[in-house]
Structure formats: C-alpha cells, structure tokens
Amino acid sequence: MTARTSSTSNPLAQMLGFLKQPMVALVAIIAYLLLSLGLLIGLDRGSTVFPLLSMIFFPPFVLAPFLILASPLDGKIKLALIAIQLIILLPLLGIFDSTYLELAIQICIFAGLALGLNIVVGFAGLLDLGYIAFFAVGAYTWAMFTSPIDTIFTINNWTVSANAFYGFVFLGVFFAGVAGILLGLPVLRLRGDYLAIVTLGFGEIIRIVANNLGSPVNITNGSQGLDTVSRPSADFLHPFVIGMEQITGRPIANVEPLAYQILFYFIAILMIVVIIVVARNLENSPIGRAWTAIREDETAAIAMGVPLTRMKLMAFASGAAFAGALGVLYGAKQTFVSPESFSLIQSISILAMVIVGGLGGIRGVLLGAVVVTLLNLQVLKNLSLQINAWKNVDAVIPGWFIIAAAVVVGGLLLYWAYRQLRAALKRREGWFSYLVPAVAALLGVYIAISSFGAQDFPIANWPSQLEPARYERLVFGVLLVIMMIFRPSGLLPEPRRKMELAASKREQEQNKAAGAGD
Amino acid sequence: MATDTTSTSLESAAQGVSVTGWEAFKNSWFYKFTLFPLGQIFGFILGVSVILTVLALLLAVVFPEPRENINLTQQIARQLPDMIIGGVSIGFVYAMIALGYTLVYGVLKFINFAHSEFFMVGSVVGFEVMQRIGAAGEGVLEAWNPILLIVALVLSGMVISGTLAVIVERVAYRPLRGAPRLVPLISAIGVSFLLIDVVRGFAAITRNDFNLTYPVSQVSFFQQRPEITLTPENAPLLQFWFTAANRDEIDIGLRMTSLIIIVAAILMLLILNWFVNGTKQGRGIRAVSQDMATAGLMGINANLMISLTFFLGGAFGGAAGVLYGLNVGTVTPFVGFIPGLTAFTAAVLGGIGNMTGALLGGLALGLIETFLNGILVYFPAFGQRYTPVFTFSVLILVLLFRPSGLLGAKVDEKV
C-alpha cells in the first residue's frame, strides 16, 4: 500500500497519501460527515429538483461507515465514529425528514437479511432462492398473534399484548430456525442448481399457503393480509423527540410516528450489531470452517470427517433464524403483513445484495445491502418523483440533449464493438456477433434522431407505465448479469473467494487458449 | 427420441446380415422418425391417463362423497374426457418448454433459468403479430386462412425467441463458461428479470397496458367447439363408463385451441426428433452434449452447436408461448414463471438431459395438473389454489427418491 502511494507522482495519489496520516484522515472524515449531513439538512424541500438532489446527497452520507472502515484510523476510533454517525447523526437527520429514517430502517432490515442469506450462500455455498420465506415466517408469527382481524387467533383469544414484541423476536428466531431445518432436511442431498430450484419452490409454497390460509379456517387472512398489527410502546421516547425538537428548533407536527420510527431504527441497529457479531463468530468458529469445507468440496469435506447433515442444517437454520427476527421487526414496523411482500423478487433482491457486495465477506455484504436498497428504494423512487415533479412544472428535455445523448451512447457502443471486432479478427475468432451491437447502436441513433428530430420532448408525455420505480427487476437483472460477467467476486471481495474465482478465471483462459484452434 | 433404434442398425450392419422384413422396416425413415415417436407419444398419454384415472378412482373409494350430493366416482367419469384433453394440450406446452431446458442442460450442464422468459417473449410476440394483422382492418383476421395464421404466429414466435436465446447465450453465458456453477446460474436469474421488465416496458410504451389479450374472438375458427357425443348405441363397449357417470350419453367437448396445440406440438416434436437424431447438425449437438472437448477435436464447432441448441430451445419455448397464448387468451410479461417452473419440473421428472424424458414429464405434469384441478374442487379444504404446491411437491419427491428422473440414466457426479 505505502509503496504504491509514495512512488507515484500523480497529484491525486499524493493527496490520498496525505490523507493516510491518521490525524488528517480523522479531520477529513469528520468534515465529510458534517458536510454531507449539512447538505441534506439544508436542501430546500420545496424545490422542483429536490428528489434529484436528495437522491444524490443521501448515499454519500449513508455510505460513510464504509469510508470510515477503509480509513487508516485506529479500530476504536473507527467504531466510535460509526457509532456517532449511526446513533446521533442519522436520528438527527430523521428529525428533519423522517423519510431518511424510514430508509435507514429498511436498509438495516435488508442488511440483516443479506447477512443471513450470506451464511447460507456465502459461507456454506448452498444457493437458496426462497430465503424470503423465513422472513415471512417471522412476520406472520408476530402478525397472527396481534392483529385484530378475525382469525382463529383472535377468536380463541390467543392474542398477546404489544409489549410481548421483545419476546416474540426470539420466538420468530425459533420458528424460522425450525422452518429452516424443515426445508433443509429434504434438500440435503441436492447440490447447486437443483437446490436453487427446490428452495425457490419452497419459497413459493410458503407464499401460496399464506395466500390461501384464509379459508376454511382463517389463519393468515389470505391475500388481504393482516393489518393493524401491534407495535411495542414508544412512549418512553416522546421526551427524547420533544427534546430534539427544542434543540434543533424545528417544530415537529406529530410526535408519535417519529417516536416509533426512532424506536424501530434503534431496534434494527441493535439487531444488525448482534447479527454481525454472531456471523463473525460463526465464520471463525469450527462450524464456519466446516461450512467453508463443504462449500469448497463436499466430497472432500465428508472424507475429512465433516458432519455434512448437521452442518448443512445448521447453515439453513442459522440463516433462517436471522430472517425470523427481522421478520418480527418488519411485521411490527409495517403494522401490515400480506403475502405480497414475500415474493420471489424479494428473495432475488437479497441475493443481489449478497452478490453485489461480495459473497462470503460480511463488510461486502453490508455494502451490497446498502447499495442495492438505496438503488431500489431511493434512487428509483426519487427518479419517479423527479419525473412527476418535472411533469407538474411542464419541463421539457431539449431536443439537442436527446440527440447528443443518443450520439454519445451510440458512439461509445460503436467504438467498443469496433475494438472487439478488430481484436476478434486479429485472433481469428468469430467476429460476427460483434456486428450486432454495432448495428444496434447505429439503429438506435437513427431512431432517436428521426423520431425526436430537434424537437423538445415534454416530460409530461412520459408514459406513466414507464416510471422508474416500477422497474426494480430491470435493475436487479442488469446488476446480477454485469456483476457475474465483470466482477463475480463482488465490490468488496472476500479474500478466499477472490482467490477461487481468480483460479477459475485462469483455468478459463487456459481453456480458451487451448480451444482457440477450433 | 429414437436413439435406441440406431444401435440395432449398427449391430446388424456390423454382422453383415442382410436386413429384411421387420428389421428393414425398423430402420426405415418412416419408422424411426414418424411411427416410433408417434407411438411413444400416444403410449405416454395412454399410460399416464390410465395411472391417473386409477389413482383418482382410488381416491373416490376413500372419499366417496367429499361434499354433500357429490358422488366423486360419477364426477370423475363425467369429467374424464375434458381432463385428459385439457391435460394433454397443456402437457404438450410443458413438454415443449421442458425440451428447451433439457437441450441446454444436455450441452452446457446448467439450468437456463431464463428459459421461461423465452416462452413469455414468444407469447408476447404472438400477440403482437396477431394484433398487427388484426389492426389492418375489420375482418382481416377472419379472412386469413386459419392454418396459415397459426403457422405465421408460431413461426414469428419461434424466430424471435430463438434469436433472443442465441443473443442471451452470447452475451450472458458464454463469457462465464468454465466459471463455478453458481455464476452462470445467477447470471441466468438476472437475464430472466431483465427480460421481464424489458418486455413490460415495451408493452407499456406500445399499449400502455401489459395485459395482452389475443384477438382470438375475431377468428371464428378458434371459437369452434367440435363435439363428439358418445351414446350406448355408437359406443356399446363403453357401457361401464355410462354406468359410472350415471348418464345416458357423454359429450366430449373439444376446444379448437386445445386441438391446435396438440396437432402443432406433435408435428413440431416429430421435426425436432428428426433434426436431432437424423441430421448432421443434430449429431453435432449430441456429440457436444456427450463430450465438448472431444467433439471439438473431431472438427465440430462447439460454439456453433451451443448457439444452435439455444436457438432450438428458444424457438420451442417461443412456439409453446404462442400456442399457450392462443389457448388462454391473455398473456402478461409475468406469464413465464409458473409454466416455466412446471416445465422445469417436467424436465427433471423425465430425467434432465433426456429428450424423451422431457416429453413424458411434460405430458405427465399437464395431466396431473388438470386431474388435480378437476378433483380438488370437491375438497373445500384444499381447492384448486393449491395445485402449484402439488407440482412443487412432485419435483421435491422426484429429486429425493429418483434424482435422475424417470428415464434419465444415473450419472455419478465427477469429483
């Protein structure tokens, strides 16, 4: 590291080298935190471009912990800085605009789910496409016992008081863990793709069952879901919120929802911390090493005496247990639980988080969870809001901009295709397939110019069916494919996984070199 | 589907025996590519239907009256023709999709998760083409020859889905060849999601709606319902059936679209069988699926064969999509998921990598599904809504007790 920075004469690298001094880094990070927070607080909420600006300014603030972790500071100072950011600064921002707090809770829940899935997929190498089912088990556990809907629970007076929430977190862990073992038992013999499909089927079964258990005996209230689910009391936080109101000098219209949000935010943070600690300890325990052995080579692991059945069940159960706890939290936070929230796309989005961040590594998975959740719940949503805001003020996209964008994108694609084509011709390989993107680029530019000409495009003409917020699948799909092609080990790769993938890449290249003759 | 006949011909050629009579007939083109596969298809339909009917009747013995005034045996006897015809037609759709999974698994040993989306694209393309033909003016669709119309729709679905499959393989799978097994699988999941939303965006821009309804109602040919009425006079041998159903006559109503599926699927399966087992390209595909490296040494262009396999798989998925769309009427960009999963189950049930198995599995699952739909209605605690659960249970049971499927050979995993 040091050798690389000192030998360069690049001014940027020099500046970064300067930042490597702990004191400078500390000051820089504090300045960064305060600046990003200040920008967010200072945004004019009435402005037309508010959604766009908020979309740009929020991610740097939320991603600050990863910056802190990457800094050359002492471990304890890093922890203290992260704690300050998460425990003081984020709630403070939430007082100003509670949507950020809501987003932070969602990020925490998804990060916890991603960490849980990471145990199954990343540590033990068992691809689980029905992971959201365990989350559903947790959410339904809480919702069924507290919703006033006329279910079998309400009729028989099996309901519990709202403050049983804290106990039910553990009950959710238990039930989800049992569900994990129940799923694990029949699929023990399956490997790879078969396992993926069966777990996918299992996830769908849980959803279909939840969807249909409204009759003949009403257990889950079917597709309408359970509403008015209880929340644990947040009364003790009211003085805190009122105190914040006085300190910030910002009047708060409604104390209660904000108090709930702060409560759930802290519970979520607490859960994440516990999950991180548990996951780290599991990873470095004999169990974790057994999982790694199974992941790397199942047959060899059996030969070395790893108890395969027990270890696989353990992976399913512990992954599921995390989801169960978070499910209870989710049920209480949303106060509404329906089968809709537990579809395949949720499982895939959690998988995308694990993959984007880097299979197997805890820090990577956390980063993946933050990035994907932000993309899904903030970037896409704010883009939709922005389009609507522009629609309301009758904004137009200038014709020259459309043409310039088409020419730039098409030109880049054409250039790329040209380079690939030339390289393929030089290697005497199949070159034909690179003609397709070239033709597509030319055609795209032609269509853009011919259909828009030099006319301005009024944003009001943007079809409402094309709102970015509805295209989460597209984002996940593109993310997964791109990650797999260009960076299968993720944004922050786990070292061992990186080695493995590098080895397979080498093999691939050797195969390619060997097979180039045909 | 007729691979075992080639070995006998080789043996007899090697022994120098002059082949005459039955042997000669067995080696004839007509037997290998028409009679034998047709016999297989009808054998499978008959076998599965008989087994399912027996099972249903056993259920009727256990629960003679699941609801008041409902005699289950009577109901089964009355519904049997409808259940079998419906099951066979949807079974052929599953079989055609399952063939795509199986072909790709054969050459690349990986499950093409995005295959259900080729089916979906096919169904949307069929809609687009039919809509556009119909949009030319009032009565244009009616004026077309119905056979020609079906051929045009199916061909357009095949070409576009097949091309799409080739492009997907080139872009998203080929760069990953040789990577750990999870990598292409995850990429395939990504492609699947991507395609759903691309088609949805396309439908949103062009139609501002993504419930795409085939203009089937504009063609009277599709609305026809040829009926066969069985009475004790014209079918004296079926006396037991009339007794079981407690009816004097039994109407067998055929939906024209079901018939179209059955006829088109049988024709296409015969062509596929001929292509894979009787042509040079088909031999190339089979060689690559046996051993890619050695096939390369023998002068077979493995990449070309893989592209060809994807084209075939995608084209069959697309054709299945068009036929399915004609049958159910309305398709959406999400239509691929459940049929795709069922077809995958069919491929696994038959033994993945085995084409005959995919056919058997598809027909079996189609029939199982319609039988369940027909019978579960009378069990209020279950109802039809649980049919997908039963399908998944079939998959799990097969994987547990016979992971290689009904017809698949047991292959030891390489260590």
* pLDDT tens figures, B257-290: 889 999 999 999 999 999 998 899 999 999 998 8
Q: What is the pLDDT of residue A500?
A: 63
- Per-residue pLDDT at B35 exceeds 60: yes
Distance CA B301, CA A516 (A): 11
Contact A194 B383 (CB under 8 A): no
User: Which of A353, A473, A483, A511 to mutate against chain B (most B CBs within 10 Å)?
Assistant: A473
Nearest chain A Cα distance for residue B181, angstroms: 7
pLDDT tens readout for residues B219-252: 888 888 888 888 877 777 778 888 888 777 888 8
Tell which residue, A258, A300, A229, A309, has the closest CA to residue A98: A258
Pick from B178, B184, B386: which is nearest to A507 by CB? Answer: B178
Residues 6+ apart with CB under 8 A from B337: A344, B116
- Per-residue pLDDT at B3 exceeds 70: no
User: Which of A191, A197, A298 to mutate against chain B (most B CBs within 10 Å)?
Assistant: A197
Judgement on whether residues A192 and A48 belong to the same structural domain of the protein: no
Q: What is the pLDDT of residue A449?
A: 80
Nearest chain A Cα distance for residue B136, angstroms: 23
Pick from A473, A488, A508: which is nearest to B193 by CB? Answer: A473
Contact B180 A504 (CB under 8 A): yes
User: Locate tokens 């925490």: which residue?
Assistant: A108
> Using a CB-CB distance cutoff of 8 angstroms, which residues of chain A are in contact with residue B181?
192-193
Judgement on whether residues A123 and A181 belong to the same structural domain of the protein: yes
| A and B: number of Cβ contacts within 8 A | 158
Question: Comparing B287 with B398, which gets the higher pLDDT?
Answer: B287
Question: Comparing B143 with B194, which gets the higher pLDDT?
Answer: B194
Does the residue A464 lie in any domain? Answer: no
Interior angle at CA A266, CA A263 and CA A271, nearest 5: 125
A501 token code pair: 């993938």
Burial class (CB in 10 A: 0-12, 13-18, 19+), B406: middle
Is B412 an interface residue toward A (CB < 8 Å)? no
Predicted confidence pLDDT, tens digits, chain A (518 residues): 444 444 455 677 777 777 778 888 888 889 999 999 888 888 888 888 888 898 889 999 999 999 888 888 888 888 999 999 998 889 888 888 888 999 999 999 999 999 999 999 989 988 888 999 999 999 999 998 888 888 888 888 888 888 889 999 999 999 999 999 988 888 877 776 788 888 888 888 888 888 888 777 888 888 888 888 888 888 888 888 888 888 877 777 778 888 899 999 999 999 999 999 999 999 889 999 999 999 888 889 999 999 988 999 999 999 999 999 999 999 999 989 999 889 888 998 899 899 888 888 899 999 999 999 998 888 888 988 888 888 888 888 888 888 888 889 889 988 988 888 888 888 877 777 788 888 888 888 888 788 766 677 888 877 777 788 888 888 888 988 998 888 888 888 877 666 666 666 666 666 666 554 44
Please state the domain extents for chain B: 29-401
Tell which residue, B265, B267, B350, B283, has the closest CA to residue B34: B267
| Extended strands (E) in A128-239 | 226-227
Nearest chain A Cα distance for residue B208, angstroms: 6
Nearest chain B Cα distance for residue A514, angstroms: 10
Does the residue A414 lie in any domain? Answer: yes
Cβ neighbours around A397 below 10 Å, total? 17
Contact A477 B197 (CB under 8 A): yes
Average pLDDT (B2-26) is 59
Does the residue A509 lie in any domain? Answer: no
Q: What is the pLDDT of residue B366?
A: 94
Judgement on whether residues A157 and A200 belong to the same structural domain of the protein: yes
Burial class (CB in 10 A: 0-12, 13-18, 19+), A393: exposed
Q: What is the pLDDT of residue B271?
A: 93
> Using a CB-CB distance cutoff of 8 angstroms, which residues of chain A are in contact with residue B412?
none
CA trace torsion A317, A320, A326, A327 (10° rounding): -120
Does the residue A84 lie in any domain? Answer: yes
Interface of B with A in 77-136 (CB under 8 A): 110-111
Residue A491 per-residue DSSP state: S
User: Locate tokens 């009917």: which residue?
Assistant: B53
Contact B415 A212 (CB under 8 A): no
> Using a CB-CB distance cutoff of 8 angstroms, which residues of chain B are in contact with residue A203?
none
Q: What is the pLDDT of residue A499?
A: 60
Distance CA A121, CA A33 (A): 34
Q: Which residues pair with A91 in a beta bridge?
A: none
- Per-residue pLDDT at B7 exceeds 50: no
Nearest chain B Cα distance for residue A62, angstroms: 26
What is the pTM for the complete model shown?
A: 0.85
Does the residue A50 lie in any domain? Answer: yes
> Using a CB-CB distance cutoff of 8 angstroms, which residues of chain A are in contact with residue B178?
504, 507-508, 511
Contact B197 A212 (CB under 8 A): no
Judgement on whether residues A24 and A56 belong to the same structural domain of the protein: yes
> Using a CB-CB distance cutoff of 8 angstroms, which residues of chain A are in contact with residue B66?
none
Is A411 an interface residue toward B (CB < 8 Å)? no
Is A481 an interface residue toward B (CB < 8 Å)? yes
Is A478 an interface residue toward B (CB < 8 Å)? yes
Contact A198 B399 (CB under 8 A): yes
Residues 6+ apart with CB under 8 A from B120: B195, B196, B199, B321, B331, B333, B334, B335, B336, B340
Distance CA B63, CA B46 (A): 25
Nearest chain A Cα distance for residue B237, angstroms: 42
Tell which residue, B186, B87, B115, B109, has the closest CA to residue B391: B87
Q: H or E segment at B250?
A: strand B250-253
Is A348 an interface residue toward B (CB < 8 Å)? yes
Q: What is the pLDDT of residue A502?
A: 65
Is B71 an interface residue toward A (CB < 8 Å)? no
Judgement on whether residues A444 and A355 belong to the same structural domain of the protein: no
Is A354 an interface residue toward B (CB < 8 Å)? no
Is B280 an interface residue toward A (CB < 8 Å)? no
> How many independent structural domains does chain A possess?
3
Contact A192 B189 (CB under 8 A): no
Nearest chain B Cα distance for residue A207, angstroms: 10
Hey, CA dihedral for B178, B182, B185, B191, is it positive or negative? negative
> Using a CB-CB distance cutoff of 8 angstroms, which residues of chain B are in contact with residue A197?
111, 341, 344, 348, 395
Distance CA B83, CA B223 (A): 19
Judgement on whether residues A260 and A144 belong to the same structural domain of the protein: yes
Contact B399 A466 (CB under 8 A): no
Q: What is the pLDDT of residue B414?
A: 47
Judgement on whether residues A92 and A139 belong to the same structural domain of the protein: no
Average pLDDT (B131-154) is 88
Is A200 an interface residue toward B (CB < 8 Å)? yes
- What is the secondary structure of A303-356 as a DSSP string? HTT--HHHHHHHHHHHHHHHHHHHHHHHHHHHSEE-GGGGSHHHHHHHHHHHHH
Pick from A205, A216, A474: which is nearest to B194 by CB? Answer: A474
Q: B29-401 belongs to which CATH class?
A: mainly alpha
Interface of A with B in 115-154 (CB under 8 A): 125, 127, 129
Judgement on whether residues A217 and A348 belong to the same structural domain of the protein: yes
Is B208 an interface residue toward A (CB < 8 Å)? yes
Judgement on whether residues A67 and A111 belong to the same structural domain of the protein: no
Domain that includes residue A403, residue range: 399-455
User: In the structure, what pLDDT confidence band is assigned to residue B94 with cuts at 50, 70 and 90?
Assistant: very high
Q: With b meaning 16 or more CB within 10 Å and e meaning fewer, what string describes A271-293?
A: bbeebbebbeebbeeebbebbbb
A87 token code pair: 């425990």
Does the residue A460 lie in any domain? Answer: no
Q: What is the pLDDT of residue A374?
A: 92
Is A506 an interface residue toward B (CB < 8 Å)? no
Nearest chain B Cα distance for residue A241, angstroms: 43
Pick from A186, A193, A208: which is nearest to B110 by CB? Answer: A193
> Using a CB-CB distance cutoff of 8 angstroms, which residues of chain A are in contact with residue B193?
345, 348, 473-474, 476-477, 480
Burial class (CB in 10 A: 0-12, 13-18, 19+), B352: buried
Q: Which amino acid is at B63?
A: F
Nearest chain B Cα distance for residue A473, angstroms: 5
User: In the structure, what pLDDT confidence band is assigned to residue B5 with cuts at 50, 70 and 90?
Assistant: very low
Q: Of A434, A455, A476, which marks where a domain is finished?
A: A455
Judgement on whether residues A63 and A166 belong to the same structural domain of the protein: no
Nearest CA in chain A to B111: A193
Residues 6+ apart with CB under 8 A from A397: A456, A457, A459
Is A82 an interface residue toward B (CB < 8 Å)? no
Judgement on whether residues A90 and A193 belong to the same structural domain of the protein: no
pLDDT tens readout for residues B171-191: 899 888 888 777 888 899 899
Nearest CA in chain A to B184: A484
Judgement on whether residues A187 and A67 belong to the same structural domain of the protein: no
Is B311 an interface residue toward A (CB < 8 Å)? no
In percent, how much of chain B has pLDDT > 70? 93
Q: Of A335, A364, A390, which marks where a domain is finished?
A: A390
Is B296 an interface residue toward A (CB < 8 Å)? yes
